[in-house]
Structure formats: structure tokens, C-alpha cells
Structure 1
Amino acid sequence: MPDAVTAPAAPPAAIHRADYRPPEWLVPDVELDFDLAAERTRVGARLTVQRNGDHDAPLRLDGEGLKLIEVKVDGKPAEHLHAQDALTIPIVGDEAVVETLVEIAPGANTQLMGLYESGGILCTQCEAEGFRRITFFPDRPDVLSRYRVRMHADKILYPILLANGDPVAHGDEEGGRHWAEWTDPFPKPCYLFALVAGDLVANQDSFITRSGRTVALGIWVREGDIGKTGHAMESLKAAMAWDERVYGREYDLAMFNIVAVADFNFGAMENKGLNIFNSRYVLADPDTATDADYDAVAGVVAHEYFHNWSGNRVTCRDWFQLSLKEGFTVFRDQQFSADLGSAAVKRIDDVRALRAAQFPEDAGPLAHPVRPDSYIEISNFYTATVYNKGAELIRMMHSLLGAEKFRAGTDLYFDRHDGTAATCEDFAKALEDASGIDLARFRRWYSQAGTPRVRASLTHHAGEGRARLVLEQTVPATPGQPRKAPVPIPLKIALFDELTGQKYTDRLVLLEEKRQDLLFEGIGGRPILSINRDFSAPVIIETDRKVDDLAFLSARDDNPFARYEAMQQLMLETLVTAVSTGSADHKPVIEAIRQTLTNPAMDPAFIAESVLLPTEAFVGDHMLVVDPDAIHAAREKLRSDIGDELESQWRAAYASSSANRFEYSPAAKGARRLRTVALGYLMAADAEGAPAMALMQFENADNMTDRQGALGNLVNSDTTERQTALGAFYERYQENPLVLDKWFTVQALSMREDTVDKVAALARHPDFLLANPNRVRSLVGAFTANQRAFHHRSGRGYRFLGDMILTIDPLNPQTAARLIPALGRWRRFDETRGQMMKAELERIIATPNLSRDAFEQATKSLG
């Protein structure tokens, strides 16, 4: 008798924005009672429910992986249906009190969604749909409730019990147990619910608001980490003061807590009054954290705090509106970081991140609008498009309205929608109403995917003393959107006289149509175009500027970002030529870098960013077919020539910061950055004594920035100093998980030919932990960013990634799914590489019991 054939499972269904309907039932008040333990936690929920509208639909509550014990309605056992991750209860009348009791197992929760255990700490992560893994509830962001939470736990194992809002009461119980009760008076969606129980200590401080209220602040960590929380606390207080000053937003509770945990799918979470952070964005001291880590701690602390208004007090109507809170809040944290440090360097960092992650996303099979139209798994839409491009949309509106009108618009937005779930249209409408500026056409940015391209052609009519600038825009086709309408593009533009450097004009131009002609009068000498200054719009600019024009701008443009951009364009065109033709003239790049290095008016931080070559991946983005080997060879040859021709300048730059001791200030950070860049060019040129210089820096460093900078340069070499430094780094930091992540990452990013083999070996290292997202990202995620190694001609990099994805997916679908887009650009590479990448995607899709997360990413990546 033949074996029975099992029909394949139906593919997961998509959810569409057009299908949105208001909730049938509201839940104004929630009381939760937790009997906490890692092996078994009991959760009692008491929901006050109200029928919303004229209908007779039963109450439907979401629930995933819950053991249901009892259901009551108005105090009596109730009829109910528990099936397909939902609990359905018929309700007579328009109001009721619904009580449920469930059991969950936090210690077995490897998905890190809902209530789970991280190193003995019980904590929650509920965005986007984790609350349904805690108790039965209408798990959607437009159901806002007031929460009262009581927790019971073993006092030895869990001496600290925290929840949203402010503490109400606490006490002891029999058997060495205790309890605590917290209440949050502000209505919030369930994705903002938070609970933490563990053996923790706090860095405690306070902040006095502008209205004179004292807010108690606490950053909770393991006892051994308390000394690394000072920077996070100072960043929190700076963010609170900045938000009052710039946006008029005052904190609204009596207490604000942050908890750091080691196992976390995201960077941090803005739960009302109880932010839960990945420990990498809380812990920092000079010995273990780089300057970039310090900056990231400040930025993420500020970001999550700013969510108190842009996300919590005003939340999202549905998950399609995710950029309403994330894009706006990213823009706010970018403003904050720019105000605290170098605004020019911060803008360079932001644009570099956008181009590294979002531009490729917009150009590939996973392209989607800032406000998507559909999804299968919402966790897949926590993307660079929603966050980073969303922030650029806010920045453009800020430019169009001006700071004063933009502030008036955000004030109106917060006042109008406080305590509600809003949409992207609501935000734009508030800006319109406050400013009187029509943003109807600007809304296209929210609904259209793809990165617009702007072609700029400048002609000079010397006899007439005028110049004509023709701007033409195109928005490329993307999956599901073959035709696009033009979008309003604000472009900051300046013209400079090529001989005198005189600036003829400097203004903001709004390109609204497919083509626009601009006429400039009083232009005597030949003008040089500086366009998209400050990166005023997230577009790709195409011009006919010559090498000499770019060299002029890199040396004389008075806009720091435009100066940086000209240098990058000069380098990029040189590298693209070298890859395409086999050779290129390196002299213009070398001379432009020489002028930058010897310009006393430039600060070291800006110099360091300006002289860095574009990444290999960025060069590949500008090729019709990506050739990883040719790009690597061209880039290494240019690096070597720059290092060799300017060796004396690099040695001088290195020596100028050699006495730098650790201080977290813009000047000190700039000196350290330039020191590492200079060392890198000396290593690339194989300059005499460079490896010894690097090892000396590594061994004598009093801070992680210098130590990791030296290690990052040595790891690409074949020297004995390389092995010495790698071994010493591991021995020193093997007990510190966050620093050990750096050890994995620096090797995954190595440019050596044997990196694929090394990464495969590191995946078998005893310290490589598949269950920890940070460790996975530090090795596997970093490896996929290494264009040369990941795209090794043998295809071993692709097979390794496919194996990792399929191994991780049953444990943590979100972590697995976020690795898949690296395979999704298979069409951009040569036929052999492309087919091997495609085969891995097909293998992933064919795997039984694949998660929704991985299924959606793989099927869309396959196209």
C-alpha cells in the first residue's frame, strides 16, 4: 500500500492595508496578575470590554502558544471557542468583564517575543505581536487600554519587579515570595506592555521637568555592569531636556526606567515608562565600548525616550503606519545627535547608513513604500525604508516648512491626536493645517517605493551672464509598482565661480514635475554646480560634472556635506572606471585627499570621513553587473596608491593624534577616527613598520576605539602581529559578551582570501551562540556585509548562509528572516553567482515548517 501523501501547507495569507476596519471591541481597562517563574508562569487577565459600533459579532481575542485554563464572563464560567490561535467568546450586551487564566513557559521561549528568560531575567518584548504570547487579547495597535499589573515571584530569584507606569504597592508573601503592583494611567496599545523580574541593580538619578516635577530615573542592569551605565544616564537626561527645549514635550510619569538584557531581537523598545534595551545600547566604558558604541548608546536612548510622545502618547492606527512613529522618531534622534556633536559628521553617518541599507532595498525585490500596502509577517517591515527613508521624508517636510512652522505642526499633531491611534495622513494634515502649506503631492513619497533619480544639466551662457539648470526626475519601477508619478523633491543648490570660488547663489529648489528649468542671472565666470547640499532629498543625483569640478568642490565647497559628497563622487567614478576598463587615473583622488589632509580649517573627524573610500558594496551598487573580485582589486589598488603617495601625510596625521587619551568629546573622537584611518592607509601601502605601529597601538591603547581600530587593520594582513592581536583580544575579553561580538565581527569583515573558511570555523566556536541574536548578527550578519567574502566565487558563502538561516529559523524566526535579504540581490551578479544565490532561496522555501517570517522574505527575494 503506498504511503499517504500529505498535502503541502497553504502559503501564509497576506494582510492588506485597504482591508483595515476599526476594532469590533474596545478594552478600556486591563488588570493582569502574574505568578512568575521561568518554567511555568500563570497569567490572569481581567478585561473590561465594550462593543464598538452597531454589530452582534462575538469577542475575538488573539492568543499564541497559550495553555488555556479558564474563561469567565462577568464572574461566571463562559461559553467559548479556542481554535487557530484565537479565543472567541459570545457576549450578550455591549459591555462585559472577561477573565482568562493561562499558563506559559518563559524559559522555553527562544523566539524572544512575549514573556521570555534572558540570563535569569524574565522580560517582555511585545512589538509587534508579542502580547498574544502572554495572554488572550485583541492584539492590534488601535486598541488602547489603561493597565494595572500585579506580579508575584520568588524574592531570591526575582527581587526586582518592574512594569509600565508608576509603582502602587508591594509586599511579602509566604514561602519566600513577594509581590508588587504597578499602574499606567495613560491608555496604550498592548505592544507597549512591559514587565521585568530579576536580580538587578540600578543607577538611580532624577530629572526636574520644566514644570518643576521631579522624575525618578533608573537604569537597571546586572550588578557587575553598573559601572558602565553612566553614559546612558547622562544621555537620558540630555534627551529629556532636549525634547522639552526643541519640541516642547515634557515627560508625564513620576518614574522612567530602562532595563538592559543580553538577549533581544531589536535594539531597544519604548514601552511606556519601562524601556527594555539590548545591553549593547546601554553598557559603555572606555575599555569595552568604541566611540561609535558611545554614539549609538546616546542615539538609541534618545530615540526610545522620544517615543514617549511620538509613538506612545500618539500611536499607530495599524502596522502599515509604522513609519508614523519610527520615521518621525529617527528624525528626532538624528537632530538630537547632531546638536550634541558634529552636525556634518552626523549627516554623513546618516546618509552612509541610508545608502548602505535602504537604497539597495529600494532597488531590489524587497522594495516597498514607506507606508506598505500589504505584509505576511509585520516583523519583516522593520526595515531601513520604514525607519531611515521615513526619517528623510520628515526631514524634507522640515525643510519645506522651515523650523518654526514645522514645530507648530508637530505641536498641533500631538495636541490633536494625544491618546489616540493615528495615521501618516494625520501627521501630514497637522503640518498642513499649522503651516498653510499643501502637502497633498508630497504624500506620494509615502505610497511609492523606489529611489528617485535626478538628472541635473547645467549650461553657461557667458555672453549673457546667465546659467540654465535643467532638472529631470524619474522614479524607477519596483515590484507591484511599474509606473510612478513625480514626487516633490527639495534640492539645496549653490553655484560657484570655478576661478574665484565666489558663490553666485545658494537656495532651496522644489522639483515637483518630471522636468524643471531654472535660470540664474549674474553668472560671469563658468559656474560649478553644488546640488543636494546637506543631502536635502533621498535621491540619486546624476550630473555631467567633470573630475576638476568634483576636485574643486571637495576642496572649496562651503557646505561640509557637499564637500564630502564631491570627494566620494570623485572616488566612486575612479573606481567604476577601473572596474569597467581595467585601469584609472588615481592622481585626481590623491591630490584631492592631499588638499583635505593639509587644510588647517578642517576638523579631524570630517577629514577622516572625507578621505575614506566608498565601500565595495557601494561601488557594486553603481555597476550593471556586480563583479566582487574586480571591485576588490580596484579598491585595494587605489587604497595602496593613496597610502604610498601620501605616506608622509598619513604618518603626520597619525602622529598628530598619538598623544590622544580617552575623552568623549567631538575633538577627541575626531582625533581617534583620523588616527585609525591613517593607520589603515599605511597598512594598505605596506609601509615600513606599519604592522608594528598597529600592534603597538593595540597594546598601548587606553580605549576600545584605538584597540579595535588597530585590530581591524591588522586582521586584513598576513602578519604575525595579526595573530598576536586576535589572541590577546580574545583572552582579555572572552568573558564579556558584547566585546566578544566585536572579535567575531572583525574577523567576519576581513578582506583575506580565507575569510569564508574562517567564518565557517567561527560558527563552530564554543562561544558562538545561535540563540543569541547579537552573536548571530556579529558573525553571520557581518559576513553578509563583506562583499568579497560572502560572494566568494565558490558559492560557499551562500551555502553557509542558507545553512545558518535554516538552523536559526526554528529557534528565532525574526533573526533568521533578517539574514535572507543578502541572497535577494541575486539578479545583480553574474550568472554563476546569481544561480547559486537563487538555489539557496529555493532551498529555504522548500523547507518544511518554515516560519512566516522566513517564507515572506525568501519568496519575495526570489521574485
Structure 2
Amino acid sequence: MTQVKLRRLDYKPLDFTATKVDLEIKLDLPVARVKNKIAIKRLNPQASSFVLNGQKLDLLALKINGQDWDKYTLDLVSEVDGFQNLTVDVSSLADASEFTLEVLNEFNLEENESMSGIYLSDQVIVSQCEAEGFRRISFYFDRPDCLAEFTTTIEAKKAYKYLLSNGNLIASGEVDQEWHYAKWHDPFPKPSYLFACVAGNFDLLEDTFVTKSGRQVQLKLFAEPGRLEQIKFAMQAIKRAMKWDEDRFGLEYDLDVFMIVGVGYFNAGAMENKGLNIFNDELLVGCKDTSTDNSLFLIDSVIAHEYFHNWTGDRVTCRDWFQLTLKEGLTVFRDQEYSSDTLDRTVKRIQDAATIQQYQFNEDKGPLSHPIRPDEVESQDNFYTSTVYEKGAEVIRLLHTLIGEENFQKGMKLYFARHDGKAVTCDDFVDAMADASGYNLDHFRLWYSQSGTPVVKVSSNYNADTKTQTLVFKQHTPPTFDQKEKQPLTLALKTQFLTADGRTLTNLESKDGNLVPEVIVFETEQYELELVNVPEELVVVTNLDFTSPVKIEQDLTSADLANIAANCQNFFAKYNAIRTYLNNIVAKNEAKFAQDPRAQLELDQDFKAIYGNLFAQARENASITAEILSLHNTSSLTGNAEKAYNPHAYNSISRAIEEKLCADYHEQLFQLYQELPFREWEYNAKHFGERALRRELIKILSRKPEYEYLVAELYDKATCFTDKFAALTAVFENNLTGLFSLKERYIQEYQEHTICLDRLLGLEIRSARSIEQVKEAVENAKQFSYTKPNSIYLLIGELARNYSLSFTYEWLDFLKELLIQVDKYNPGVSPHICRIFTEYNLYVEPYRSKLLNVIKELLSSQIQFSRNALEILTKGLQASEA
């Protein structure tokens, strides 16, 4: 199948647009019938026709101004995906400047397994329209630059107790003894991707929030029956987010009601539909007794993210999907700031930097590389990447660093003043920031159009005679698959200077007589800075707090790294020094562990200094210590790899490092473990840190038989799910066969909690020794379904971390068949499987060829893949041949 490329520069405004939409949706399973009455306005006086998008719809009738209209054509654009174009000719209409179009269509929602448009999630009818799902509901201008005021009437049988849509409820009641209806009006113009429709029977949790102007907003949370207690945390998260957005950004909620619905079958994590957010229930349902701290943190941050979209996404939206980072990068930055203010800023910064370093950097160097504002794509659904979201947020953070909080807030206010109610571009956002702050951001804009990871080489030369130290920062961005030519970018590097004995020197002077700034900013390929009156050679510690999303190359010795880890006042720098040290250990040991998985780990003398000091400071810095210990996980080690690697060697090195820590430090670690208190659960950074450290310590200690009893003891003493699951994880990861009875206890305790059972299934898949064991675990898991996105995400995520099976032919065949199966009904999920194969460039042989051969087999077959999957597989093959 030939793929059609969509290009950013080909954007053309609509000739006709919708200004008001009156939807009537009758949900009469298996069919949904939709009457869409659209007020249309002509924007281009020369235009005489327009195209409405559809997908797998049956057109029943079409009228203009109340009269039947037959001057149209309905074309099938794609047999595989069912895309349709409805072209309406209005050249014979007496007045085509403004008119009313009425379209009547229906579709079978029970046959819609794509989870796009309106579909069934168990017993709930729900919608998902971003990016192009509305065309599965009705023929429409299904693009983000068409903003209209929606009125929606939903009619369904009374078995569906709640009928929900965007905006405020303006009418509801009985149709007859069997049917009822609800009518909603959203006064704020919105694109079709923000439309939402829900019908179902839920538990409802209600509360109120009083805005800063004194308006009372109704808060309503809907979850599957039996989960009322488990959505109370989410309700508090909503109120925290609303208050924070008022305090930090001055943004107030605008409707009378804010609603969130949680459903079990949902491709995405959550969706910011205006006034009616729809969530994957994993990101809504949770409490201390059924969720880990990390899960609750995710619930809190995702609720904040989707709520923050009310302004950065809903009130001001994207002109086209190439501008996706306009709303997503900005809103990720906002939710990161919310989490930083709510819990621990340093820990959050470490975690966000790790996401970039371990995932996004890999995307940059692979076949799917693209800028945060891509220039071309074949499927809009493939825009939802770590680059667009997380790197997009880092670019916003860099902008914030450059102009400062006060100017950033001025820029936000100007942005809303100019563009409220409009669909705009990334350039419009940068324009507002430049105009409000007075900064020239012309060169900064390159971050939006250039792909790849900048590398900054930092060199330093100390002259003892003149007491000067010259620093040279030299940046370059390696070529990527999508772009060969690169230019220097605007960089901001927060920098500190350490003496050999660990003192931080401040107020240093440069040759021009000025104090050296805390943040060094440059936009040239090379930047030099000469320090004067320097008493001794200093260790340069740069890119503290990850102020720019770049890789730093610097000749730091193990002693330098130990100095930073022990003495630098910046905790991010401590973490990053140990991360760099571990990377060096892995590089030194990879070859021999590739030959012998039980090889002796080769370490230098600084290992003891680094870890001895780390554990000595652990009581005061539990959260940071936990983050550092998590660096030993195989997924962290591989994510931080600087070149193609042997995944099995890395897994063996991960095990060897933890065995070494257990052997050398078990007494100190045991003492530290014993001193960690079992507190009553609270949502705060201190308690999170203590439990996170306990999780890492029990995993290390239980490698030694004499400490295995601590695992069962932890399970029994646990005051929250976090500690219980930490114990169970240690059983599986360290293969503590004598404690497998904990699994049966766990099943008995959590048999009614699907999400908890999924967590156990994840451990079983990750520790399976054959694909047959994986299949058996899946078959025995009553909550698992091959049509459920959460199940597929769990399956492929844990299979990727199963180093006993990974890259075996049965592992590859299983994933290949899974892709073929899933892509037939849900092309929103199948790209996640494709990306396992297209990451071949991360690995040495024979792993690289094994993945690449799968891509070749799939593309040479007669299988008709969705455009989502086909684009990713094709790019994977093309990059290997470039």
C-alpha cells in the first residue's frame, strides 16, 4: 500500500468552516445514529465545495438549509482503514456564505474495536477523538483548526444511567419508559478532537471547588461500580491542580462542572476533552491500599496534566497536528512544575531528565527521529512521541531558563490574550514570549525544527603560573535519519566549580572582569570562557538540573566523579556523576560479560568511595539515594548506553553490581533498612523517599540468603501497597523460591482488584523462562484480554524486560504474531509493538540483525498493515539501508 506523506508546509486554511454544531446521538446498540446539524461559514469567496472526513460511516441523508441535497460524492480513500471523503458541492446554492448542513449517518459501535470514535468499553459507551476519531462518529471537518460551539443531545436506554458530554448540562429527562436523554452545551468553541460522549452506569464521587473569583464548580468523578473508595485520591488531585493553576499561572476554570470518567478499555492514558476528561482507569483509580506510590504520583500528575490542558490545549489549541508540541510540550512542562512544587523538585528533575536520557535520546538516534515540531508524517497518530512530549517540555524549560519566571508568566498572559479561542502555531507561542520578555528568540526557534541530540564537549585547561583556567564548550548535533545537516543551537548550561577537596567556589571572575554567571548561555558552535584568579585547577560540573536537553562529553576521572558525588551541593549533579561512573563501569566490563555472564566485575578504587559515601548520606537523602540505586536496573543501564550494546551482557552486569553491593555493604545496608520507619501513609516527598529506598534495599539485601526473611517480614508489616509489592517484586526478581507462597496470599488479597492482578502478571511475564510460560500466565489471568490496550502494553513492556527470553526466536515470533493480530483491530496500539523492532540500531550483532529481519519479513508479506504500523516499519527498513 502506498503511503501519502502529509507535510507541515502544505498546510492550507479551510475554505469553509463550522461555527456551531448541534449533535443528536441515539445509542441503540449495536447501532449509533447521529444527526449532525452544522452551521457553516465560507472563508474563501472563490470556493464552491468542501470535503468532510468520515471513517466507516453509513451515510443516510444530507440536507442543506432543511432541503435534501444530492450534489455530493462519497469516496473511499483507504480500504484498509476505511477513510472516507464526503465532498459537498454548493456552487448552485443561492447564498453559500453561510448555511446549515445536516448530515445523518450511522455506524456499528459494537464492531469498532479500534477504540477511536465511539466504542464499547466493557459495558460503557465511550469516545476518543484525538487525533482523528471524530470522523468515526460523523462526517465533519476533522482537523484542529475548525473551532465550533457544540450542543450535544445523547439518547440511550435507561440502563445507561449517566449520559455525559462536553460543557454544561442544559436539559435531561425521559423520552419514554425505556429511553432517556441528556442535552449538553459547551459555550467555548472547540475542534472535533475535544468532543466527548459517555453513556454508562458508574459510581459517582462529587465535590466542589471555589475558584479565586468566587465561582463554585461542581466536580464529578465517574468510575466503574465498586471503586468509589479508590477514586477519593483522584478527587483531591483535581482540587490540588485547580488551586495550583490559579496560584502559579493565574488560570481559573471556566465551566460550571468539571468531570472525569474512568474506563478500562482506552488506548491513551487520558484525554483532555473540554469539561469531560476521559481516563484510562489505571490513571484514575488508586489508593494507598491498592496502588504503589509511583502509581499514585502518576495519577496525580496525569490528572493535573489533563486539567491544565483546559487552557493550554482547549482554550488555545493547535492549528494543525504538526504543532502538537504547542499544547503537549507546554502542558508537560506545566505538570512537571506542578509535581515539583507538590513533592520534591530535585527528584522530579532527576526523573524527567532520566526519561530524556534513557528514551528520547534513543528516539533521536533511531529511524523514527524527528524534531519536536515534525515536518512530515504519514499517520497523525504517530505524532505522539517522547520527542514531541518530553523533549518538547525540555525546550519550554530551556525557554523558561533563558527569560526567567517573571517574563515567562508575562509571555503566557500575552499568549492567552492574543489567542484565546483560536488554533495557533508554535511560532505564535514563541512570538508571545519574545514580545513579552523583550528577548530575541529568533535563534532559539531552531529547537522546533532541528531533530537530534546536541552533544557538548567540555574541555578545561588550567595555567598554574597565571592562575587562569580556560573552559571550552563545543557543541555539535550528529546527523539523524531525517536530517543530515545540523546547526548550533541556543544552549543554557547551569555550572558549578569544585576544588580537589570538594569545596564549591562561587563569585569567580572571567577575563572581561564580570562574574561568571550561574547559567552559561551560548548559541555558537564553540564558546570559550577564561576564569582569572583561580587558586587551583577546578572540576567543572555543568548542565546541572539538566538545563539543556543535551549530552555532555567531558574527560572526568573516576576521582572527579567521586568528588562530585560526595561534595557537590547540587543533588542532580551527584546523581549524574554516579550515572556517568556506572556508564564507565559497564563500558569496561561489557565485552567479558558478553562472553561469560558470571564473569568477575572489574572495578576501580573509587567504587568504594562513591558508594560508601552514598550510603553514609542516605538517611538524610532517602529519595535521592533510591533514585541512584535504581540506576543499577538493566533498563536504566541500557537506556544510558552511549553506543550499540549487548543487552544480555548489560543484564548480567546489573546483577553483578547489585551482588557486589550486597557482598560489600550488606551490614551497612541492613542497618539503614532497619532505621527506615513504617509510617502511616501520607502523600508527601519524605514518606515517598523512605519507601522508595526500602524498595531498593530489600531487592539488594534479599540476594543474600540470610536476609530473605526480611521479604516476608516486609509483606506482613506493610502499611500500604507500595511496601507489599516491593516484597513481592523481590521474590520474583531474586527468584526466592522459598517465598513463592506470598504470591498465593497476594492473589487472595487482591483478587477483586484488576490493576493489582495486572502487576502480578507483569512480574510473572518478566520472570518467565519460556514463551509457553508467558502464554500460561496470560491464560490464567482472568483480567487479561488481547483486545484490551492495558493488557497489550503490559505484555510487550514486560517481555522487553525479560532477558531470559529476549531475542530468542520464540520471543521474536511471539511479538511478530502479536503485532499482526493487534494491528487488525487496533492500529492505535500496534505501533508500540513495531517500535520494539525498529530499535535495532541500539544493539550489537546478532541482536540488530534479528530485529531487522523481522521488519523485512513483515514488509515482504502480503499482510495489509494499518497506516500507523506501516509508516513505522517502513521507516525502520529505510533507515537500515540509508
Shorter-chain TM range is over 0.9
Counterpart residue identity of residue 476, structure 2: T
SS of the aligned residue for 2:139 comes to coil
| Alpha-carbon displacement from aligned partner over 1:597-649 (angstroms, at most 9, x marks no partner) | 21277321122112333443454453543112222222221211111111111
Q: Does 1:58 align with 2:72?
A: no
The aligned residue for residue 170 of structure 2 is: 168
Counterpart residue identity of residue 568, structure 1: R
Provide the C-alpha distance between the structure 2 equivalents of 1:389 and 1:414, rounded to a whole number of angstroms: 23
Provide the C-alpha distance between the structure 2 equivalents of 1:161 and 1:500, rounded to a whole number of angstroms: 64
Question: In the alignment, is the contact (CA less than 8 A) between 2:495 and 2:519 conserved in 1?
Answer: yes
The aligned residue for residue 72 of structure 1 is: 63
TM-score with structure 1 setting the length: 0.96
Question: In the alignment, is the contact (CA less than 8 A) between 1:45 and 1:100 conserved in 2?
Answer: yes
SS of the aligned residue for 1:813 comes to coil
Which has the higher mean CA deviation after the structures are superposed, 333-342 or 702-711? 702-711
Structure 1 position 789, deviation (Å): 4.0
The aligned residue for residue 4 of structure 1 is: none
User: How many correspondences in the alignment?
Assistant: 847
Pairwise mapping of residues 504-583 of structure 1 onto structure 2 (< 5 A)? 504=506, 505=508, 507-580=518-591, 583=601
Provide the C-alpha distance between the structure 2 equivalents of 1:547 and 1:847, rounded to a whole number of angstroms: 54
Structure 1 position 746, deviation (Å): 2.2
SS of the aligned residue for 1:463 comes to coil
Provide the C-alpha distance between the structure 1 equivalents of 2:331 and 2:841, rounded to a whole number of angstroms: 34
Match of 1:136 among 136, 139, 142: 139
Counterpart residue identity of residue 134, structure 1: I
Match of 1:839 among 853, 859, 874: 853
The aligned residue for residue 771 of structure 1 is: 787
Question: In the alignment, is the contact (CA less than 8 A) between 1:760 and 1:800 conserved in 2?
Answer: no
Q: Does 1:806 align with 2:820?
A: yes
The aligned residue for residue 37 of structure 1 is: 28
Question: In the alignment, is the contact (CA less than 8 A) between 1:491 and 1:510 conserved in 2?
Answer: yes
Match of 1:106 among 104, 109, 112: 109
Match of 1:731 among 713, 728, 748: 748
Question: In the alignment, is the contact (CA less than 8 A) between 1:593 and 1:611 conserved in 2?
Answer: no
The aligned residue for residue 83 of structure 1 is: 75
The aligned residue for residue 651 of structure 2 is: 632
Task: Say if 1:148 and 1:626 are closer, same or farther in 2 by CA, change over 3 A.
Answer: same
Question: In the alignment, is the contact (CA less than 8 A) between 2:58 and 2:107 conserved in 1?
Answer: yes
Q: Does 1:590 align with 2:605?
A: no
| Alpha-carbon displacement from aligned partner over 1:225-273 (angstroms, at most 9, x marks no partner) | 1111111111111111111111111111111111111111011000000
Pairwise mapping of residues 196-211 of structure 1 onto structure 2 (< 5 A)? 196-211=198-213
SS of the aligned residue for 1:713 comes to helix
The aligned residue for residue 3 of structure 1 is: none
Q: Does 1:862 align with 2:877?
A: yes
Task: Say if 1:615 and 1:477 are closer, same or farther in 2 by CA, change over 3 A.
Answer: farther
SS of the aligned residue for 2:313 comes to coil
| Alpha-carbon displacement from aligned partner over 1:467-509 (angstroms, at most 9, x marks no partner) | 1111111101111311101111110011111125132356101
Q: Percent identity?
A: 34
Provide the C-alpha distance between the structure 1 equivalents of 2:814 and 2:642, rounded to a whole number of angstroms: 26
Structure 1 position 302, deviation (Å): 0.3
Provide the C-alpha distance between the structure 1 equivalents of 2:800 and 2:99, rounded to a whole number of angstroms: 52
Q: Does 1:747 align with 2:764?
A: yes
Question: In the alignment, is the contact (CA less than 8 A) between 1:38 and 1:117 conserved in 2?
Answer: no
Question: In the alignment, is the contact (CA less than 8 A) between 1:499 and 1:525 conserved in 2?
Answer: no
| Alpha-carbon displacement from aligned partner over 1:507-552 (angstroms, at most 9, x marks no partner) | 1011311111111122112211111000111111110111111111
Which has the higher mean CA deviation after the structures are superposed, 241-250 or 709-718? 709-718
Question: In the alignment, is the contact (CA less than 8 A) between 1:321 and 1:423 conserved in 2?
Answer: yes
Task: Say if 1:761 and 1:719 are closer, same or farther in 2 by CA, change over 3 A.
Answer: same
The aligned residue for residue 81 of structure 2 is: none
SS of the aligned residue for 1:83 comes to strand
Counterpart residue identity of residue 73, structure 2: L
| Alpha-carbon displacement from aligned partner over 1:675-720 (angstroms, at most 9, x marks no partner) | 111111113xx32333322123224423211111111121123332
Structure 1 position 586, deviation (Å): 5.1
Q: Does 1:368 align with 2:370?
A: yes
Q: Does 1:12 align with 2:6?
A: no
Which has the higher mean CA deviation after the structures are superposed, 365-374 or 817-826? 817-826
SS of the aligned residue for 1:70 comes to strand
Provide the C-alpha distance between the structure 2 equivalents of 1:502 and 1:126, rounded to a whole number of angstroms: 53
Q: Does 1:680 align with 2:699?
A: yes
Match of 1:849 among 864, 870, 876: 864
Structure 1 position 757, deviation (Å): 5.0
Pairwise mapping of residues 215-230 of structure 1 onto structure 2 (< 5 A)? 215-230=217-232
Question: In the alignment, is the contact (CA less than 8 A) between 1:428 and 1:439 conserved in 2?
Answer: yes
| Alpha-carbon displacement from aligned partner over 1:337-378 (angstroms, at most 9, x marks no partner) | 000001111111111122222111111111111001111111
Question: In the alignment, is the contact (CA less than 8 A) between 1:576 and 1:619 conserved in 2?
Answer: no
SS of the aligned residue for 1:479 comes to coil
Provide the C-alpha distance between the structure 2 equivalents of 1:614 and 1:451, rounded to a whole number of angstroms: 24
Which has the higher mean CA deviation after the structures are superposed, 233-242 or 573-582? 573-582
Provide the C-alpha distance between the structure 2 equivalents of 1:601 and 1:742, rounded to a whole number of angstroms: 29
Task: Say if 1:755 and 1:381 are closer, same or farther in 2 by CA, change over 3 A.
Answer: farther
| Alpha-carbon displacement from aligned partner over 1:16-59 (angstroms, at most 9, x marks no partner) | 11110001111000000011133111111100111111223312
Match of 1:797 among 811, 814, 832: 811
Task: Say if 1:528 and 1:72 are closer, same or farther in 2 by CA, change over 3 A.
Answer: same
Structure 1 position 665, deviation (Å): 1.9
The aligned residue for residue 6 of structure 1 is: none
Which has the higher mean CA deviation after the structures are superposed, 661-670 or 342-351? 661-670
Task: Say if 1:601 and 1:523 are closer, same or farther in 2 by CA, change over 3 A.
Answer: farther
The aligned residue for residue 282 of structure 1 is: 284
SS of the aligned residue for 1:652 comes to helix
Question: In the alignment, is the contact (CA less than 8 A) between 1:692 and 1:721 conserved in 2?
Answer: no
Question: In the alignment, is the contact (CA less than 8 A) between 1:324 and 1:423 conserved in 2?
Answer: yes
Match of 1:656 among 671, 675, 693: 675
Match of 1:24 among 15, 27, 37: 15
The aligned residue for residue 630 of structure 2 is: 612
Structure 1 position 571, deviation (Å): 1.7
Counterpart residue identity of residue 26, structure 2: D
The aligned residue for residue 7 of structure 1 is: none
Provide the C-alpha distance between the structure 1 equivalents of 2:844 and 2:585, rounded to a whole number of angstroms: 22
Question: In the alignment, is the contact (CA less than 8 A) between 1:781 and 1:819 conserved in 2?
Answer: no
Provide the C-alpha distance between the structure 2 equivalents of 1:804 and 1:237, rounded to a whole number of angstroms: 41
Pairwise mapping of residues 412-561 of structure 1 onto structure 2 (< 5 A)? 412-499=414-501, 501-504=503-506, 505=508, 507-561=518-572
Question: In the alignment, is the contact (CA less than 8 A) between 1:215 and 1:256 conserved in 2?
Answer: yes
Provide the C-alpha distance between the structure 2 equivalents of 1:706 and 1:174, rounded to a whole number of angstroms: 53
The aligned residue for residue 124 of structure 1 is: 127
Provide the C-alpha distance between the structure 2 equivalents of 1:289 and 1:19, rounded to a whole number of angstroms: 47
Structure 1 position 153, deviation (Å): 1.1
Structure 1 position 760, deviation (Å): 4.1
Which has the higher mean CA deviation after the structures are superposed, 15-24 or 603-612? 603-612
Provide the C-alpha distance between the structure 2 equivalents of 1:624 and 1:189, rounded to a whole number of angstroms: 43
Task: Say if 1:729 and 1:534 are closer, same or farther in 2 by CA, change over 3 A.
Answer: same
Question: In the alignment, is the contact (CA less than 8 A) between 1:322 and 1:386 conserved in 2?
Answer: yes
Which has the higher mean CA deviation after the structures are superposed, 387-396 or 475-484? 475-484
SS of the aligned residue for 2:226 comes to helix
Provide the C-alpha distance between the structure 2 equivalents of 1:837 and 1:694, rounded to a whole number of angstroms: 38
SS of the aligned residue for 2:631 comes to coil
Q: Where do 5+ consecutive residues of structure 2 fail to align? A: 77-83, 509-516, 594-600
Task: Say if 1:608 and 1:572 are closer, same or farther in 2 by CA, change over 3 A.
Answer: same
Counterpart residue identity of residue 103, structure 2: T
Structure 1 position 848, deviation (Å): 2.0
Task: Say if 1:462 and 1:412 are closer, same or farther in 2 by CA, change over 3 A.
Answer: same
